[in-house]
Amino acid sequence: MNTALNQAWADHIEKWRVSGLSIKAFCEQEGLVYHQFGYWRQKFASANDAPHESKLVSVALAAPSHQTNELEILLPNGMVIRGIDGGNLALVTSLVAAL
């Protein structure tokens, strides 16, 4: 196996891990082929990585500081999607599904 190729993909995977981006967004940004990235990511998966990583994230309910009918989503990378209501729920659902 080509050691330089292994190292190049290992570097890409590490850069993705710290980027906070989805795999799709990272591959687009870096000009990488999505399915090749998936192959190498699986190849280099550590014992701590789940074989089929879930896209589900934990959700915690907190009492709002003021009365509102809007919701917000706090993503694991610290980004927040605010202003969610019945009028834009389909859009928000699409955004979250793309992550």
| Structural domain boundaries enclosing 12 | 3-43
pLDDT in tens, 30-60: 999 999 998 888 887 754 455 555 566 677 7
Residues 32, 13: one domain? yes
With cut-offs at 50, 70 and 90, classify the pLDDT of residue 29: very high
Instruction: Please tell me the distance from the alpha carbon of residue 75 to that of residue 99, in angstroms, as a whole number.
Output: 10
Cβ(83)–Cβ(77) under 8 Å?
no
Domain count, the chain: 2
Inside any domain, residue 13: yes
Q: How many CA atoms lie within 13 A of 61 on its CB side?
A: 0
Q: Output the pLDDT for position 54.
A: 59
pLDDT in tens, 76-99: 777 777 777 777 778 877 777 776
Inside any domain, residue 48: no
